[in-house]
């Protein structure tokens, strides 16, 4: 547990001088993302520790290499949690990597994503300058939002060294409901239920079943569950090990995710039919996130995503030497290249990790 930011800054300065590519890593739990990493490793595994935590302010600041497990433990003591439910791909996932990859769990449409809950951060840019953006307050519109800009940038703009996040109370009660249902009907049902003012906190379709999670005040959860079960004519039932199901979904430990076939992640209009993905697809986020396992080209998948109002990425496996992220239109590509140069003029951070041209 310690602050090695000075050492990291020195390493970056040296790399900038010599034009050495750096491969930024934390817990190395998500190294399968992107187009692969090459270059001299810059490890944040030792840059750990919770810098400050004010339960009443709902704010925690932690060094980027701090493991999610350690954060969870401290939050749990105060009946709080990371409401964006970051996936764990091992025991070593860090908060910095979670933000760089912009990864959020099943509750994302209702509780927000890591990008939604980040309040500020510290970052070493490609000139070896240790910068501070945002802060520890909920509302802050001074300067550009360079903190949220990092979400999804996969470390291409700088080395995130510290993250401040909004944390939230644990829900008083959670309950999971399950009902056998065809895919298209499930999509319609998820969207219809999400339009009701009820404490829905996750909705997924997997293997011929609709899964719903309710979170909140016990009376509200129970009343809603009772009503929805009655409306289903007895088809909808309480699933007792609900917590385990959502955890396995979040951490990609359901059987769907095993094996080495290409895993595609679609972020689309929640109402899109996308029947071409077939009954093997897994639908999360109330319809807005679709997982599919098939061997196809990025351009075919990107076309499907675009028709469904969204984007696609080759999340895991498959050919990772080509592009793995949704194609960017040329003006956005140019802007991101210029932003990259604005933060990292020598192009030393994770070159080619996100896109070949970045």
Partner 1 sequence: MSVANSHETDTPRPIDGRTDFPPVYRASLADRFRRFLSPDSVITDDETIRPYECDGLSMYCEMPQMVLLPETVEQVQQIMRICHAEEVPVVARGAGTGLSAGAMPHAGGIVLSLAKFNRILSIDPQARSARLQPGVRNLAISEAAAKYGLYYGPDPSSQIACTIGGNVAENSGGVHCLKYGLTVHNLLSVEVVTAEGERVTIGSDGYDSCGMDLLALMTGSEGLLGIVTEVQVKLLPKPEVAQVVMAGFDTVQAAGAAVAGIIGHGIIPGGLEMMDGFAIQAAEDFAHAGYPTDAAALLLCEVDGTEEEVHDHIHQAESLFRALGATSVRTSGSEEERALLWKGRKSAFPAVGRISPDYYCMDGTIPRSQLAHVLTEMQRLSDHYGLRVANVFHAGDGNLHPLILFDANVEGEFERTEAFGGDILNLCVAVGGSITGEHGVGMEKIRQMPNQFGNLEVSQFHAIKQAFDTLGILNPGKGVPTLRQCQEYRAIGPLRQPDASQAGEASHG
Residues numbered 120-159 forming contacts with partner 1, rule: CB under 8 A: 125, 129, 131-133, 135-146, 148-153, 156-157
- DSSP code at position 336: H
The half-sphere exposure of 298 on its side-chain side, counting CA atoms within 13 A, is 19
| C-alpha–C-alpha distance, residues 244 and 189, integer Å | 23
Query: Which residue do the tokens 């932690």 mark?
Result: 62
| C-alpha–C-alpha distance, residues 245 and 239, integer Å | 9
Q: Quick one: 126 or 242, whose CB is closer to partner 1?
A: 126
Q: Which of 51, 74, 254, 339 binds partner 1 (CB under 8 A)?
A: 339
| C-alpha–C-alpha distance, residues 179 and 120, integer Å | 41
| C-alpha–C-alpha distance, residues 295 and 126, integer Å | 37
- Which range of residues in 8-16, 42-50, 55-63, 231-239 is near partner 1 by CB under 8 A? 55-63
Q: Under the criterion CB under 8 A, does residue 15 sit at the interface with partner 1?
A: no
Q: Which of residues 84-113 bind partner 1 (CB under 8 A)?
A: 102, 104, 108-109, 112-113
Q: Which of residues 35-54 bind partner 1 (CB under 8 A)?
A: 54
Q: Quick one: 67 or 348, whose CB is closer to partner 1?
A: 348
Q: Under the criterion CB under 8 A, does residue 230 sit at the interface with partner 1?
A: no
Shortest approach of partner 1 to residue 79 CB, angstroms? 6
Q: Under the criterion CB under 8 A, does residue 343 sit at the interface with partner 1?
A: yes
Q: Which of residues 270-299 bind partner 1 (CB under 8 A)?
A: 270-272, 285, 288-289
Where helices occur in the chain by DSSP H, the ranges are: 5-18, 68-77, 95-101, 108-111, 114-117, 146-149, 183-194, 218-231, 242-250, 298-307, 330-343
**Six token digits for residue 189:** 């049902």
Q: Quick one: 67 or 353, whose CB is closer to partner 1?
A: 353
Q: Under the criterion CB under 8 A, does residue 224 sit at the interface with partner 1?
A: yes
Q: Is 172 strand, coil or helix? A: coil
Number of chain residues interacting with partner 1 (CB under 8 A): 91
Shortest approach of partner 1 to residue 91 CB, angstroms? 25
Q: Under the criterion CB under 8 A, does residue 352 sit at the interface with partner 1?
A: no
Q: Which of residues 298-317 bind partner 1 (CB under 8 A)?
A: 308-311, 313
Integer CA distances (angstroms), 124 to 16, 25, 141, in order: 12, 14, 21
Q: Under the criterion CB under 8 A, does residue 8 sit at the interface with partner 1?
A: no
Q: Is 77 strand, coil or helix? A: helix
Shortest approach of partner 1 to residue 352 CB, angstroms? 13
Query: Which residue do the tokens 């900038």 mark?
Result: 16
Name the maximum alpha-carbon separation found in the chain.
Answer: 69
Q: Under the criterion CB under 8 A, does residue 328 sit at the interface with partner 1?
A: yes
Shortest approach of partner 1 to residue 50 CB, angstroms? 16
């Amino acid at each position: 547990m310690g602050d090695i930011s000075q050492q990291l800054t020195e390493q970056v300065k040296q790399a900038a001088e010599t034009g050495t590519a750096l491969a930024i890593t934390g817990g190395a739990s998500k190294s399968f993302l992107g187009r692969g990493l090459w270059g001299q490793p810059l490890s944040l595994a030792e840059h750990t520790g919770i810098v400050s935590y004010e339960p009443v302010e709902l704010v925690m600041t932690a060094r980027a290499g701090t493991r999610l497990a350690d954060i969870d433990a401290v939050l749990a003591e105060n009946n709080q949690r990371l409401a964006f439910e970051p996936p764990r791909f091992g025991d070593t996932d860090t908060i910095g990597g979670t933000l760089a990859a912009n990864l959020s769990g099943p509750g994302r449409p209702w509780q927000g994503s890591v990008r939604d809950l980040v309040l500020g951060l510290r970052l070493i840019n490609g000139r070896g300058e240790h910068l501070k953006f945002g802060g520890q307050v909920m509302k802050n519109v001074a300067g550009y939002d360079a903190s949220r800009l990092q979400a999804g940038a996969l470390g291409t703009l700088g080395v995130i060294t510290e993250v401040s996040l909004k944390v939230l109370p644990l829900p008083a009660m959670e309950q999971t409901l399950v009902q056998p249902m065809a895919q298209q009907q499930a999509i319609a049902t998820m969207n219809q239920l999400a339009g009701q003012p009820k404490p829905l906190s996750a909705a997924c379709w997997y293997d011929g079943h609709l899964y719903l999670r309710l979170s909140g005040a016990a009376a509200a959860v129970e009343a809603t569950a009772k009503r929805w079960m009655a409306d289903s004519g007895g088809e909808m039932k309480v699933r007792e090990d609900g917590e385990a199901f959502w955890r396995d979904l979040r951490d990609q430990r359901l059987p769907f995710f095993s094996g080495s076939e290409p895993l595609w992640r679609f972020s689309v209009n929640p109402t899109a039919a996308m029947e071409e993905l077939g009954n093997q697809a897994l639908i999360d986020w109330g319809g807005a996130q679709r997982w599919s396992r098939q061997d196809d080209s990025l351009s075919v998948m990107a076309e499907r995503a675009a028709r469904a109002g969204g984007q696609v990425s080759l999340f895991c496996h498959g050919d990772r030497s080509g592009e793995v992220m949704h194609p960017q239109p040329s003006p956005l590509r140019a802007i991101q290249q210029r932003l990259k140069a604005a933060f990292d003029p020598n192009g030393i951070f994770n070159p080619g990790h996100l896109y070949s041209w970045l």
